[in-house]
Amino acid sequence: MSLKISAAKMVDDARARIQEIETPDLIAMLGDPNVIIVDIRDVRERQRGGYIPGSFHAPRGMIEFWVDPDSPYYKEIFGQTDKKYVFHCASGWRSAITVATLQDMGFEAAHLREGFSTWGKHGGPIEMPEPKS
């Protein structure tokens, strides 16, 4: 099977037109009330590896619906026009495509270039979910 465009090309195209934030720079933004970090990883990834404290979890498959005020799935957190949204996944691939798609919709956001994979290596704090009883 031959695809019209590969996933890697989609990521490259997205990265060429969106704002990418380096891990140390996002670590420095922690605690800034004007920054909302959105984790689009699967819930199992968050359970296994933890998450950025204060991040908002939004599953990748729902993002377009959660940011759209006309959608029945709209989430108020995405209606704050005075905030800077920074999306992340594990390695920066899903979040690059996500942010490019949101930009096409008219929603401004950035993404964590290397994703959560380098967060701990750069000294970023990691919160672990409570164990299920």
Is 122's pLDDT higher than 90?
yes
Please give the structure tokens belonging to residue 77: 């957190």
pTM for the predicted model, two decimal places: 0.94
What percent of the chain shows pLDDT beyond 90?
93
**Residue-level pLDDT at 70:** 97
Task: Say how far apart CA 87 and CA 53 lie, in whole Å.
Answer: 14
12-59 pLDDT, tens per residue?
Answer: 999 999 999 999 999 999 999 999 999 999 999 999 999 999 999 999
**Residue-level pLDDT at 3:** 85
Evaluate whether 96 touches 15 at the Cβ level (below 8 Å): yes
Ordered structural domains, the chain, with CATH: 15-118 (3.40.250.10)
